Amino acid sequence: MTIRLSLAALALAMAFAAVPALAETTSTPPGNPCLKDNGNPCNNNNGNLGAQGNANHEKVKIDKHPPPIDLPMPAVSGRGAYISQIGDNHVATIRQTAPNAYARVDQEGTSNEANVTQDGSGTAYARSSQEGIGNFARVQQDGSGQNVVYLTQTGNGNWAWSNQNALGAMHNGASMTQTGNNNDMMLLQDGSDNRALLTQEGDGNGMTATQVGEGNRLIWTQQGSNLTDLQITQTGGVEKGGQLLVTQTGDGG
């Protein structure tokens, strides 16, 4: 009998021969699947730092071409201060020495605190709203130019501080929003024509932004929990990082 085996058939036979036989087993594979960064999601462990197994890991996106920020300066003539409180143990203070200053504080819930200070020779406009328990907000406005800020806190244990120093003809503007619990947010604007739109949605997030000079634009959004404080500083101009759209999502814990 003559047996003929083609080269293709021979290669296929050798390939199958090289594959080890598989058998059912109940043994635990080596390694601990609950160790961080080993690629094996377990409980609250998102696995390694790569794309696989990390659906909830913190992600940061940065765009140097943010959309326009619409924060016009309201007309202010003389001084006006208004405080509305619903609930228990709230603290609210407003101090004005600027010739043209408007401030309003609204609090609802328990043990919220808000402090507004408007100094300098320019124009200041501030709105602070708190709803929840144990939130703290501080607004400071100064300088010879114009400042406007809108600060909103909804939740418990949030902390926010806004410090604006206007030095030029164009106003500084900021919108600061916290929704969730135990978030920290701080903004410093020192100069002219700076705009910031800051938003935190979640728990335990940190955000620190500094704008110095003229023409800075920052839209920074955090959606998730325990997200990293990137501590962004802008000194004006596109080439110096003065135009940014930053989005953080996921869980940084």
Residue 91 forms part of a structural domain: yes
Residue 23 forms part of a structural domain: no
Residue 30 forms part of a structural domain: no
Residue 68 forms part of a structural domain: yes
Residue 212 forms part of a structural domain: yes
How many domains does the chain divide into?
Answer: 1
Closest to 198 in 3D by CA, of 171, 181, 223, 215: 223
Q: What pLDDT is stored for residue 3 in this prediction?
A: 34
pLDDT digits (tens), the chain, 253 positions: 333 434 344 343 444 344 444 444 444 445 555 544 444 455 444 444 334 444 568 999 999 999 999 999 999 999 999 999 999 999 999 999 999 999 999 999 999 999 999 999 999 999 999 999 999 999 999 999 999 999 999 999 999 999 999 999 999 999 999 999 999 999 999 999 999 999 999 999 999 999 999 999 999 999 999 999 999 999 986 666 689 999 999 998 7
- Give the domain extent around 233: 59-251
Give the type of residue at 111: S
Residue 209 forms part of a structural domain: yes
Query: pTM to 2 decimals?
Result: 0.79
Residue 45 forms part of a structural domain: no
Residue 3 forms part of a structural domain: no
